[in-house]
Amino acid sequence: MRVIGYTRVSTQEQATEGMSLDAQASRVRAWAEATGAEVVEVVRDEGVSGTKLLAERPGGRRIADLLDARRPAADAVVVVRMDRLGRDAAEQLALLKRFRAGKVGLVAIAQQIDLATPHGRAMAQIGAVFAELERSLIAERTAEALTELRQQGRAWNHAPFGWDIVDGRLVANLTEQDSLARIRDLRAAGTSYHKVAAILGAEGRATKRGGPWQAASVRSVLRTAAQMEATEAA
């Protein structure tokens, strides 16, 4: 059996959960060696949230295309855990239906999921529900922690866009605050996230880490700013 491995990490997972891309790829190859499968490729998505739709990720797009192919280049996709495909239960269930009905199978090593059996399909559906529950709990705990830290004027992990860390406390970064205001004005005018990213790049406005602006980074900046404003009002 020819298989393609799919690996994904968000920045937080890579740092704290031991689920690095290399670690996932090693488990995929070990599984293949134990079962006699041939790994033709390992597709990677680095620093990509599981809340982002599979087809909207660079690597995930290739997996989605594989499912649509008339003559797939592999017999199955192998992941370490189901939540590598995504943490949204609705999308997971939709993907499971496509894997089950299509020409490409799916193997989730940790859950021992085999979509060729009724038991395997049921376990996959249960796993999708719990993955979404986990995501919701993480978001809730994160929001609570951010609220407490913001009310104390303390920094967490790294400074969000629009702020710097000075002596362990958050201090407004005026240049980034100006860019944040620009983003809000563009969005208020109905400009798409992709177009906002292009405009910011053309205007020479820097991201927090110096990389190029993307639609996802614009969305993230606005979401974080809204969370901070909400904690100030609380």
Start-end of H helices in 103-169: 118-152
Number of CB atoms found within 10 A of residue 53's CB? 12
Residues 156-181: tens digit of each pLDDT: 556 788 888 777 677 888 999 999 99
For domain 154-233, give its CATH number from 3.90.1750.20, 1.20.120.530, 3.40.630.10, 3.90.1640.20.
3.90.1750.20
Backbone angles phi, psi at 164, to 5 degrees: -125, 160
| pLDDT, averaged across the chain | 80
**For the chain, which residues make up each domain, given as ranges?**
2-136, 154-233
Strand partners, 79: 108
* 181 Cα distance to chain centroid: 26
The predicted pLDDT at position 207 comes to: 92
Residue 83 is given by DSSP the state: G
**In which band, very low, low, confident or very high, does the pLDDT at 233 lie, cut at 50, 70 and 90?**
very low
| Per-residue burial over 116-140, b = 16 or more CB atoms within 10 Å of its CB, e = otherwise | eeeebbebbbebbeebbeebeeeee
Measured distance CA(10)–CA(47) in Å, rounded: 4
Report, as an integer, the average pLDDT of 217-229.
Answer: 83
- Distance CA(82)–CA(79), nearest Å, equals 7
Look up the pTM and report it.
0.51
- Hey, do 2-136 and 154-233 end up sharing a CATH topology, with the first three levels equal? no
The pLDDT score that the predictor gives to residue 160 is 82
What sign does the CA torsion over 136, 140, 142, 146 have? positive
> What is residue 168's predicted lDDT score, i.e. its pLDDT?
67
In 105-191 the beta strands, taken as DSSP E runs, fall at 105-108, 113-114, 163-166, 169-172
DSSP code at position 78: E
pLDDT (mean) for 117-124:
60
In this predicted structure, the answer to whether residue 15 has a pLDDT above a threshold of 80 is: no
Pick the CATH number of 2-136 from 3.40.50.150, 3.40.50.1390, 3.30.9.10, 3.20.20.60: 3.40.50.1390
* Distance (Å, whole) CA 56 – CA 90: 16
- 155 band by pLDDT with thresholds 50, 70 and 90: very low
d(CA 29, CA 42) in angstroms, rounded, equals 9
